[in-house]
Amino acid sequence: MSRRVRLGVNIDHVATVRNARGGAHPDPARAAEQALSAGADGITAHLREDRRHITDADIDVLSALCRRADRPLNFEMAVTDEMLAIALRHKPHAACLVPERREEVTTEGGLAVAGHEARIQPVVRTLSDVGIRVSLFIEPSQDQVAAANAVGAQVVEFHTGRYCHVSGTERAGELERLKAAATQAHALGLEVHAGHGLDFATAAEILVIPEIVELNIGHFLIGEAVFVGLDAAIRRMRTAMDAASSGLNA
Ligand code: PXP
């Protein structure tokens, strides 16, 4: 059965390159505009506690840009009072709650929802109450899916880092784990997204999981843009995803 899976483009690493020189170029807002015109369904940005890439000013501009373009901004945030206040000020279409440790290079694992329900549930409720769609970035495991449902999230985004990192039988095993978690989440009424480390091949392959309705992809697309341009990289990803979700090979 053919379906159109949404593509959220994460533009954090445009800001990483900009910040390497401390100036204004390359501008993440320009990348967001280009991403939308190339076929991205929405923009994803992670305002980290240490502001290593996206800044508060970027979020101001991206919020206004997405509102003008009538496209969703997916605001990735740690579960902190500071980030909650920023989300409530901007009221993005969506907030994705992620774990954050200062010393990590990237978001290295999923949010531990199981065991931390008391901390996470009020944040989910506060965001949901003002109309922000709340997603929890979790490992594809049974206890995390059950906990995400218990705290009232509308969406789970499965961390695909491990799946993308391993190969052979280990990759096949990870795909099975993702399938089982997607089936469980869907049965509970949760919307299923996936992201982290995806490239053309893994993004296409993972769409054998019919419950997935959105992928969020950043690092690979921004890296690929160095060689082919952002527009071409996103168009190729769109084509790969469309082909995979209609049962064809790109
Ligand atoms: N989804 C979430 C929740 C993330 O934290 C990230 C990385 O910031 C991504 C998707 C995108 O991962 P990548 O940059 O590896 O494509």
Query: Model confidence over 183-195: pLDDT tens digits?
Result: 999 999 999 999 9
Whether 102 shows a pLDDT value over 70: the answer reads no
Tell me the DSSP string of 155-182: EEEEE-HHHHH--HHHHHHHHHHHHHHH
Half-sphere exposure of 102 (CA within 13 A, CB side): 2
Distance, CA of 75 to CA of 46 (rounded, Å): 6
**Contacts of the segment 82-90: beta carbons below 8 A, 24+ positions apart:** 82/49, 83/47, 83/49, 84/123, 84/126, 84/127, 86/47, 86/56, 86/59, 87/127, 87/132, 88/126, 88/127, 88/130, 90/59, 90/60, 90/63
What is the rounded average pLDDT of the residues 34-53?
96
Task: Write out pLDDT tens, residues 129-153.
Answer: 999 999 999 999 999 999 999 999 9
Q: How confident is the model at residue 126 (pLDDT cuts 50, 70, 90)?
A: very high
- Pocket of ligand 1, beta carbon within 6 A: 10, 12, 46, 76, 96, 98, 106-107, 137, 157, 195-198, 216-220
Distance, CA of 46 to CA of 54 (rounded, Å): 6
Q: What atom in ligand 1 is closest to the CA of residue 195?
A: 10
CA of 10 to the centre of ligand 1 (A): 7
CA of 72 to the centre of ligand 1 (A): 16
Express as a percent the part of the chain with pLDDT over 90.
Answer: 93
> Which sequence positions are flagged as catalytic?
46, 76, 196
CA of 129 to the centre of ligand 1 (A): 25
What is the rounded average pLDDT of the residues 225-245?
97
- Of 76, 101, 220, the one to substitute when testing ligand 1's pocket (max ligand atoms within 8 A of C-beta) is 76
Q: How confident is the model at residue 101 (pLDDT cuts 50, 70, 90)?
A: confident
pTM for the full predicted model: 0.96
